[in-house]
Amino acid sequence: MCNFSNLLIYSNKDEVCSIGTLYTYTNRCLLKIRNIDLPEKAGRRVKRKTKKDKKHKRLKGISIEQRPEMISSREQFGHWEIDLVIGKQSKDRVLLTLTERKTRKEIIRRISGKTVRAVGSCLKRLQKEIPHFDKVFRSITTDNGSEFAQLWKTGKKMGIDIYYAHPYSSYERGSNENANRIIRRFVRKGTAIKDYTKKQIQEVENWINTMYRKILGWRTSEECYAEEVQKLLAES
């Protein structure tokens, strides 16, 4: 288990060094780290196209093929990707993760297990917990895991469009996959998620939402999310 007291929170983005400079310093051995110590750089793999059957089997929800282009292009706010982060394989809780596609805002919640009921119950709790939920949650893109098989029914009741990605196509939920990889820095594979406190999980969520991102113009997800919510309220 990681030392959560060492989570880094940057308070001044003017003091944040560029990625290129950090990599240069690392390559020149000017820092006490090596390339292998950099989780993003060392963990990246070249994508290889494989010929797999990507047809949906027994799909009762809406295929990602029917998802509007404005969602795919990230033009519109309020579209999320969902997945689970697993700890131990049996008798353990799991983390449900949601990533907003435009702002990369992250939501992490511990749920009782990898089941349809646990996922549905969590979404219902979020509906009560998150301000302006009906405007913030317009759609969710998920994979074909059995725990999400009935998500389209839950979405229909809550007014959320649910889209199912193709099998073996995690890149169609790329933002969420990237967020899960960051979570794995703190919640290692094989460790019991039930042993992590609610506060520790919240710290990981805050760390992700408050780090400055190049893809967001060196702003944080929290800043971008708050701005989008304000725009929605101004329009209503």
Domains located in the chain, CATH noted: 60-235 (3.30.420.10)
Share of the chain above pLDDT 90, in %: 70
Question: Is-contact 192 92, C-beta < 8 A?
Answer: yes
- Global pTM reads 0.81
pLDDT, residue 17, reads 67
Distances (CA, A) of 225 to 34, 77, 126, 182, 210: 34, 9, 16, 19, 11
pLDDT, residue 164, reads 97
Q: Does the pLDDT value for residue 214 go beyond 60?
A: yes
> pLDDT grade, residue 28 (50/70/90)?
low
